[in-house]
Chain A
Amino acid sequence: MLPYTDSKPVGAADFYFAINATFRFILKRFGLEPLRRYWTELGSDYMAPVSASWKRHGLPGVAEYWRAFFKAEPGADVEVTCQDESVVLEIRQCPAIAHLRKCRREIVPSFCQHCYFLGEAMAAPAGLTVRVEGGNGRCRQTFFRRRAAIPEQDLARIRKAIC
């Protein structure tokens, strides 16, 4: 269900350093709005094959994707539940925050916002939307079928990341 295949079953954790550093580079040079635009464009362009798959397979496809995804992320502790109207990711240990913290890396404070902006850009073409609550190592991400009754994402509900 993952769009890309690798020769090893789990990714190299030190690449989280580069993800964090990329966010910091864009934030320092250009500011928070361009960083959010980067996340959004990454979600709508690079992740387009994932959106197309979600459109074809609906919420069960969303759940299957995230199960496969977190299985390939080193140190993830995540429960994925598929319900009638939503898919819930209970992230008990975010692999990125855990590795950055273990290695005493300074984490970009807005790091956890990327899950919302990236996830929303992936979800929208499939007729879905995501809400993120928590952050800084533990959070809940809920993917819903897009409908009017769902309140907008409140970014204040996404915690700042700290080392």
Chain B
Amino acid sequence: MLGVYDFCGHYEWTFEWLRRLGGEPLVCQFWDEAIHQDSQSHAAELILQKGIEGMKQYWGHTLQAEGAGYQAIATEQTFRIDMHACPSRGFLIRNQLHQYHDYCDHCMGWIGPLLKHGKFVVDHQHNHRGQCWWEIRHQSDPTPASAPGQLAGHRDVRLRADWNLSGKPTDTYERSNHPDDKSSKANGSKPGS
């Protein structure tokens, strides 16, 4: 039987299996159709119906269930997550599992299209070491991503001493809805800073 105790391991393995079968477009279709529209239909229902309140409810439940180290902040206009210890990426790092070239892309792969349906856009960075941040706003709101500490205070993941460790580029998305929108910055430069 395929279990959930090591779900992130075979989930990541599956990305590479699909990439070999149909290239990156098939992987993106999988994130959109299988994860956003099917597996996470409960997230879509909550967020599309309730907007930022739905985001609070969905991520409050799911990140708790997965044992994440995170902080979520909601204002009337913005929903922000600072992920200090991603349980999913952390599982792969701890168990030295690496099949697909960028596991972290799967989040934008399913969340991006979901938010697009709700007319939201995302500012996001991930550093490939289980740390990332997200700011979600309505697409009509031109506000740029916050400066480090501006919204999340001292819990802003960008203020961590290990956020910009050299070696791996930080991937950056600005007002995005698609995993292909990213730019990789070796110096981990910070939007809004």
CA distance A13 to B62 in the complex (A): 10
Instruction: Point out the residues of chain A lying under 8 angstroms from B33, CB to CB.
Output: 25
CA distance A99 to B3 in the complex (A): 12
Task: Check: B38 CB closer than 8 A to any chain A CB.
Answer: yes
**Dominant secondary structure at the A interface:** helix
Known: A21-B34, A25-B33, A41-B17. A10 touches B5 (CB 8 A): yes
Is B17 a contact partner of A4 (Cβ separation < 8 A)?
no
Task: Check: B87 CB closer than 8 A to any chain A CB.
Answer: yes
Report which of B2, B5, B30, B39 forms a contact with A6, defined as CB distance below 8 A: B5
Nearest CB in chain B to that of A10: its residue: B5
Is A11 a contact partner of B39 (Cβ separation < 8 A)?
no
Instruction: Point out the residues of chain A lying under 8 angstroms from B91, CB to CB.
Output: 4, 6-7
Report which of A13, A24, A95 forms a contact with B34, defined as CB distance below 8 A: A24
In chain A between 84 and 106, which residues have their CB closer than 8 angstroms to a CB of chain B? 94-96, 103
Nearest CB in chain A to that of B7: its residue: A15
- The stretch of A53-61, A69-77, A147-155 in contact with B is A69-77
In chain B between 1 and 60, which residues have their CB closer than 8 angstroms to a CB of chain A? 1-7, 9-11, 13-14, 17, 21, 30, 33-35, 38-40, 42
Is A4 a contact partner of B1 (Cβ separation < 8 A)?
no
Is B4 a contact partner of A11 (Cβ separation < 8 A)?
yes
Interface size on A, residues (CB 8 A): 40
Is A73 a contact partner of B38 (Cβ separation < 8 A)?
no
Nearest CB on A from B134, distance (A): 19
Task: Check: B97 CB closer than 8 A to any chain A CB.
Answer: yes
CA distance A8 to B69 in the complex (A): 13
Nearest CB on A from B96, distance (A): 9
Known: A4-B91, A7-B87. A25 touches B6 (CB 8 A): no
Known: A7-B90, A42-B13, A73-B3. A14 touches B62 (CB 8 A): yes
Nearest CB on A from B27, distance (A): 11
Task: Check: A19 CB closer than 8 A to any chain B CB.
Answer: yes
Beyond the given pairs A4-B9, A11-B3, A12-B4, 20 more chain A to chain B contacts, judged by CB atoms under 8 angstroms and listed by A's residue number, are A2-B5, A2-B6, A7-B91, A8-B66, A8-B67, A12-B66, A13-B4, A15-B7, A15-B11, A16-B4, A18-B34, A19-B4, A20-B39, A21-B35, A22-B30, A22-B39, A24-B34, A42-B17, A74-B4, A96-B1
The 5 closest A-B pairs by CB, nearest first: A11-B4, A72-B5, A25-B34, A21-B38, A21-B39
What are 10 A-to-B residue pairs whose CB atoms are below 8 Å?
A: A3-B6, A12-B65, A13-B65, A18-B34, A22-B14, A22-B34, A24-B34, A41-B17, A94-B1, A103-B42
